[in-house]
Chains A and B, each alone.
Chain A
Amino acid sequence: MTDVVLSREIARKFTGGETRIVVEAGTMRAIVRQLDEKFPGLKSILGEGMAVAIDGTIFQDFFLEEVGPDAEVCFLPAIEGG
């Protein structure tokens, strides 16, 4: 099992306010698919311009990342630098 943490903005729109969602471990692509099944439309905003942090490590392009069980995945805006 993997914990997915969503921002309150996203939660308000898609999960009825629930910011912590439990999904099956797997690749990020699989996790996003599970989220989209649970909350239709969620997929649309979890791609472009978003990054994830898996156990605190930030991935800007993440669909292929493997997420182990007991890991925590947070969605956050992609980061631009100077």
Chain B
Amino acid sequence: MDGNANGYRWIGTRTIRPDGVDKVTGRAAFGADFSLPGMLVGKILRSPHAHARILRINTDKAETVPGVKAVVTSADFPEIPPAEATKGSSPPNYRHLSQNLMAREKVLYDGHAVAAVAATSAAIATEALALIEVDYEILPHVTGVLEAMADEAPVLHEDLFTGGVDPKPEKSSNIAKRVEFAIGDTDAGFDAADVIVERDYDTEGIHQGYIEPHAVVASMGADRQANIWCSSQGHFMVRQYCAGLLNMSIGDIKVTPAEIGGGFGGKTTVYLEPVALLLSKKSGLPIKMVMTREEVFRGTGPTSGSYMTIKVGAKRDGTITAAEADLRFFAGAFPGAPVHLGCMCGFTPYDIENVKAIGYDVVTNRPKAISYRAPGAPIAAFGIESAIDELAKKLGIEPLALREMNAAKEGTRTAYGPTLGVVGFEETLEAAKMHPQMSEPLGPNQGRGIASGYWFNVGGESSASVSINEDGTITVTSGAPDIGGSRASLCIMAAEIFGVDIDQVRAVIGDTTATAFNRHTGGSRVTFALGAVVIEAAEDCVRQLRERAAKTWDIDIDAVEWENGEARPAGENAGKFEPLTLMDIAEKTPMTGGPIGVKKSSNVQGPGPAFGTHICDVEVDRETGHVKILRYTAIQDAGRAIHPGYVEGQMQGGVAQGIGWALNEEYIYGEDGRLQNPGFLDYRIPVASDLPMIDTVIVEIPNPTHPFGVRGVGEIPIIPPMAAVANAIEDAVGLRLTSLPMSPPKVLSALDDGH
């Protein structure tokens, strides 16, 4: 729904983002675009082995190279004892984070950092890296999740014992934890079913694939006060993690956010920043570090791959009576696969009495997995939404109809405990049914697939300030990086509250000294949570503006109303006064009590969970296994689309990433445990010619906990595509593909076996 039709002046309109011109003219400064006089170049030496014990590191030769100013290894980082692994609120595991940053006793994956150098030029730094001698004792490695779970598998961490099982195991294992979510009695549920489908599915590890490599400039003063400029999803996160990893006090670190060139969850941790700080401390000079694309693939967090078993049963009439999922996700070198989130989201689109989802978090010799858009949910949805499709076909019910029959709604009990509040899943299914794509005729070897997805969305700590400037313009300062247009949505919400022209409002992202703490940008939280805080601050400003008008007119504040950006007497009795515009009042603030500015901080709760439903049409080349995406429609409950253009953009971008995940993206490891495709040539993200236009339908079922009804939008669109594509392929050629990516060799051999 576009502006005004919804009764608002700015909400729902397609305004131009305040940071837009800088980004189309090349002026916007991203992570690698910043520099300081006299700064050095930092580079990292990475392990060529998937699993090895470090016997000795000798940096003597490197340190003597002219132009080399500092060399660091794990010995330069404080060792974090298990007891102090988690400190602060909702923290990472600092012990693991530190070991991932710089390998200690062992390297755990190809690309694991072992040392770093700072030099006067990139060429000298590279030359010095080659002179660092590392003696490795190569150990057997394991990169597959089932292989890592096997009894005889090489163990990555001798001190890792499976959690979530009773009694506590005596033998260390690669299975970090087991989780279970269940309601009802699935055995009884399956007994009551007339039709049951059960299959195994597997997915490969894939990377977020942001186009901007990680980059940082860091400077540590002699007084140990530090300045960091970097692109991340949370400069407060960078500050917190650096302090925790280097035993610094948070107050001594200032982080200034650069523009961020994509993150999708991959920039919610640190890789370079603490290393750059240490190199700066040792050399006494500022350090710039920029990853190569190869380093991004080998050294930074992809998302989990998986092996899943999905079982669903239903009555002839289509009532789903029971559902079970066994999800085995690999986490890479350290625990933390988002398998619990996969368990929680997977069956939530459906109102099922008996559900059991069991998850295993498994370590493997791969880079440590980090968040990627709706962590865990897309993986589970690939298996579960494929199973729902297969069940529908077996029942002879249209896949969309089966979803409607069993759709979750307000009051539906989820497998992870709570009942759902106001949600818009049924509305997305209805919109799908009505969409013209559903009636587009399909030719030979063409097929249509449907899939749905669920995500909680996230709130969290949010801080912002709103200032009335002397000329009546308004500055909104947010502490959460703008990763895809959130400055635009914050401006829109503020302009709506003030009732002023959008061009009177500017939103900026402040550094860590400009606002109080902010949780990182992620989980689709910023327009919802920062929005709530900005709205609160703006409303407080409006109250003060009315107060100033009341003082000017010498009447009671209750006799002043605020409308269309100006203060007016409320009705006849209030007295006759010419309205005072925001500008009039701003100019006079020195005489009416001083500047007007409001800072707000809050831990915003109650994010609106949301659902999406996708329709995908494909054509399969039976002779080559090539799959072409013919048409695609994404439908999603956004609660309220503040800026429809950026909501559509999130949906279209999520779909494109999902199509890449479905068809071509994968981490390819050789027998030697080395990554074979650490570049955009062979890690194949979709290019423009791979995709059709991606149609979007925004459903708006307002989130009751947000003033404008906002729900998060960024995560959901990546959840349904893999299953939507698989279901479309099945519809086209009658083959159920269960392994991602569904690349041409896999599709072709399935076609050959199928005949």
- A interface residues (Cβ-Cβ under 8 A, vs B): 5, 7-9, 12-13, 48-49, 53, 55-62, 65, 72, 74-82
Closest to A57 in B: B606
B418 proximity list for chain A (CB < 8 A): 5, 53, 55-56, 58, 72, 74, 76
By the criterion CB–CB under 8 Å, are B417 and A53 in contact?
A: yes
B683 lies within 8 A of chain A by Cβ: no
Counting CB contacts under 8 A, is B372 at the interface?
yes
Interface residue B669 (Cβ < 8 Å from any Cβ of A)? no
CB-based contact B715/A80 at 8 Å: no
Which chain B residues lie closer than 8 Å to A76 at the CB level? 344, 416-418
B605 close to A57 (CB less than 8 A) = yes
Q: Could you show 9 A-B contacts with beta carbons less than 8 Å apart?
A: A8-B182, A9-B164, A55-B419, A56-B420, A58-B605, A59-B606, A81-B457, A82-B208, A82-B374
A10 to chain B, nearest CB (A): 10
Chain B interface residue count, CB cutoff 8 Å, equals: 46
Interface centre among B268, B338, B344, B418 (most CB of A within 10 A): B418
Question: At the interface, yes or no: B313 with Cβ under 8 Å from chain A?
Answer: no
Closest 3 CB pairs of A and B: A81-B523, A82-B265, A53-B418
Contact yes or no, B605 A81, CB < 8 A: no
- Known contacts A9-B180, A48-B86; is-contact A79 B606 (Cβ 8 Å): no
CB distance from A45 to the nearest CB of B (A): 11
Most chain-B CB neighbours within 10 Å: which of A8, A9, A53, A82? A82
B383 CB–A CB distance under 8 Å: no
Q: Is B375 located at the chain interface by the 8 A CB criterion?
A: yes
Please encode chain B, from 176 to 188, with 1 for each CB lying within 8 Å of some chain A CB and 0 for all others: 0001111000000
Are B264 and A82 within 8 A (Cβ)? yes
User: Taking the complex as formed, is B522 at the interface, i.e. its CB lies under 8 A from any CB of chain A?
Assistant: yes
* Interface pair B523/A82, CB less than 8 Å apart: yes
Q: Could you tell me the distance in whole angstroms from the C-beta of A5 to the nearest C-beta in chain B?
A: 5
B522 touching A81, Cβ below 8 Å: yes
Contacts A9-B180, A60-B605; is A81 near B458 (CB within 8 Å)?
yes
B603 within 8 A of A: yes
- In the complex, the answer to whether B90 meets A81 with C-beta atoms within 8 Å is no
A8-B182, A81-B522 known; A55-B421 Cβ under 8 A: yes
Is B90's CB under 8 angstroms from A79's CB? no
Q: How far is the CB of A62 from chain B (nearest CB, A)?
A: 8
Q: Whole-angstrom distance between the alpha carbons of A8 and B357 in the complex?
A: 12
Q: Is B573 an interface residue, CB under 8 A from the partner?
A: no
Cβ contacts under 8 Å, A79 to chain B: 341, 456, 458, 523
The answer to whether B603 and A80 have CB atoms under 8 Å apart is no
B459 contacts A60, C-beta separation under 8 Å: yes
Q: Determine the chain A residues whose CB is within 8 A of the CB of B689 once the complex forms.
A: none
